[in-house]
């Protein structure tokens, strides 16, 4: 029973290792450290976005605006950074936080459905991004890029470090803080949480604000990778982040799940692109694979839920 529980909790990492083993059997190139490092580098922005998304989904809501906010963040950075690095970091973070806060207030206080609200915000943030920069460009200081993506031997230390910090912070916040407990309670049932004297409005506003903030940080990291600002770079982040959270074991209805699973799913999703690329498969198949993966996992989970219910009755 105990081993089964452990396997259940860590299944995503087992799946990850299986995928990596198969990939390195298919293509020998996959065994190189540089490939592993690429996966890590591309996992960082998704892991950040998924952290916010994870909190939002744990409260039983969605954030579709993460991609737009992330892209806007790269655009703002690419405009300001050449003049002042500090403000170039501060402003994207501010924009993400403010947009996330607006999402949160509208969802919690004005009771706008989160799907609609963040859908609208996605369009708004992307539109603003395109107004500022309608094609990719701008300047990201070399010093900034080097700081984030500098090689120490074959290893990129900073991204690895960021990924581990993000994982620890995410897990710690969810499991060991009052805020985390409140997030789970609100996600399970906001009536219960409200009656238990939890400020539900505040928690809902907070998760969306955090989601906007983490999406903005992700944008700041991503602009170092692509070395420019791009208002369309976030298109797949809503899909990818939701897929990662759901694959990682968080229930869409909220109240159950964790962040370590999400990180495992992030690593798998970013690996898929690399693997397809190296195996010589058309890159667009990655999208198909990701979409299928999401649907299959949700279907399997619903099947499990139904069985549980029948046993209970």
Partner 1 sequence: MSEILKIEGISKFFPGVQALNKVNTSFSKGEISAIVGENGAGKSTLVFILMGALKPDEGKCFIKGNEVNIIGVHKAKEYGIGAVFQEPNLIKYMSVAENIFLGEQGKFKHRGILSYSKLFKAAEEILNDLKIEIDIRQLAGFLSPAQRKLIELAKMMRHNPKIIILDEITAALDYEGVAKVFEIIRNKRDEGKTVIFISHRLREVFDIADTALVLKEGKVVQKLELKDTTEEGLVNLMMGKKLSKVFPKRISVGRKEKKVIFSIRNLTTKGKLKNINLDIAKGEIVALAGLRGHGQSELLKAVFGLVPKNSGKIFINNKEVIVNNPVKAKMEKIAFISNRREDELCFTHSIRRNIALPSLGKRQRAGFIIQSKEKKEVSDISSKMNIKAPSLATEVGNLSGGNKQKVVFSKWLLTQPDLLLCDDPAGGLDTGAKSEVYHILRRLANEGKSILLVLSDMVEILNLPDRVVVISEGKIVKEFSNIGSEDSKMLEKKILKASAGVT
Q: List residues near partner 1 by CB under 8 A.
A: 176-179, 181-182, 184-185, 188-189, 191-199, 255-256, 311-312
Q: Please say whether the beta carbons of 270 and 46 come within 8 A.
A: yes
Contact of 161 with 253, CB cutoff 8 Å: no
Tell me how far, at minimum, the Cβ of 189 lies from partner 1, in Å. Answer: 6
- Give min distance, CB of 176 to partner 1, in A: 6
Reported as type and span, the H/E element at residue 151 is: strand 151-152
Token pair 């809503």: residue: 238
Select 194 or 287, whichever has its Cβ closest to partner 1: 194
- Exposure string for 50-86, b = 16+ CB within 10 A, e = fewer: bbbbbbbbbbbbbbbbbbbbbbbbbbbbbbbbeeeee
Q: Among residues 92 and 249, whose Cβ is nearest to partner 1?
A: 249
Q: Least distance from C-beta 105 to partner 1, angstroms? A: 18
Q: Are 214 and 266 in contact (CB under 8 A)?
A: no
Query: By CB neighbour count within 10 A (0-12 exposed, 13-18 middle, 19+ buried), where does 156 fall?
Result: buried
As measured in angstroms, the least distance from the Cβ of 19 to partner 1 is 30
Pairing of strands 151-152, 155-156: antiparallel
Closer of 27 and 199 to partner 1 (Cβ): 199
Min dist CB 218 to partner 1, Å, is 24
Nearer to partner 1, 119 or 179 (CB): 179
Minimum CB distance to partner 1, residue 267 (Å) = 27
Nearer to partner 1, 185 or 275 (CB): 185
Q: Toward partner 1, which CB reaches closer, 51 or 75?
A: 51
Residue 230: is it exposed, middle or buried by C-beta count within 10 angstroms (0-12/13-18/19+)?
buried
Smallest separation (angstroms) from partner 1 to the CB of 256: 6
CA angle 100, 104, 110 (to 5 degrees): 140
Tell me whether residue 116 or residue 191 sits nearer to partner 1 (CB atom).
191
Nearer to partner 1, 121 or 182 (CB): 182
Confirm if 134 and 76 have CB atoms less than 8 A apart: no
Structure tokens at 113: 């459905």
**Start-to-end Cα distance in the chain:** 23
Shortest gap between Cβ of 254 and partner 1 (angstroms)?
A: 10
Q: What angle do the packed helices 33-58 and 66-80 form, to 10 degrees?
A: 120
CB atoms within 10 A of CB 155: 14
> Smaller CB distance to partner 1: residue 283 or 311?
311
The single-letter DSSP state of residue 229 is B
Task: Report, in Å, the least distance between residue 138 CB and partner 1.
Answer: 38
């Amino acid at each position: 029973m105990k081993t089964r529980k452990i396997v259940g909790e860590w299944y995503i990492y087992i799946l990850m290792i299986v995928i990596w083993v198969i990939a390195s059997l298919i293509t020998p190139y996959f065994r190189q450290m540089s490939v592993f490092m690429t996966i890590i580098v591309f996992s960082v922005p998704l892991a950040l976005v998924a952290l916010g998304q994870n909190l939002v989904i744990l409260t039983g809501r969605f954030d579709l605006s993460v991609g737009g906010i992330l892209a806007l963040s790269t655009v703002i950075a690419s405009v300001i950074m050449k003049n002042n690095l500090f403000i170039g970091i501060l402003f994207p973070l501010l924009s993400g936080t403010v947009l996330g806060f607006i999402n949160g207030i509208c969802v919690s206080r004005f009771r706008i459905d989160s799907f609609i609200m963040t859908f609208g915000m996605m369009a708004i943030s992307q539109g603003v991004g395109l107004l500022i920069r309608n094609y990719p460009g701008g300047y990201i200081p070399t010093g900034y890029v080097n700081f984030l993506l500098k090689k120490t031997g074959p290893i990129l230390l900073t991204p690895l470090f960021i990924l581990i910090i993000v994982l620890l912070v995410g897990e710690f916040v969810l499991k060991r803080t009052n805020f985390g407990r409140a997030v789970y309670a609100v996600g399970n049932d906001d009536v219960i949480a409200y009656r238990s004297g939890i400020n539900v409005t505040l928690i809902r506003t907070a998760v969306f604000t955090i989601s906007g903030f983490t999406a903005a940080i992700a944008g700041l990291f991503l602009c170092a990778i692509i070395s420019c600002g791009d208002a369309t770079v976030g298109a797949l982040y809503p899909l990818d982040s939701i897929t990662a959270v759901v694959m990682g074991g968080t229930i869409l209805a909220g109240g159950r799940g964790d962040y370590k699973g999400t990180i495992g799913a992030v690593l798998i999703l970013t690996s898929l692109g690399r693997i397809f690329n190296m195996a010589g498969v058309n890159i667009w198949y990655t999208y198909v694979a990701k979409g299928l993966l999401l649907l299959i996992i949700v279907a399997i989970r619903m099947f499990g839920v139904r069985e549980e219910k029948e046993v209970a009755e």
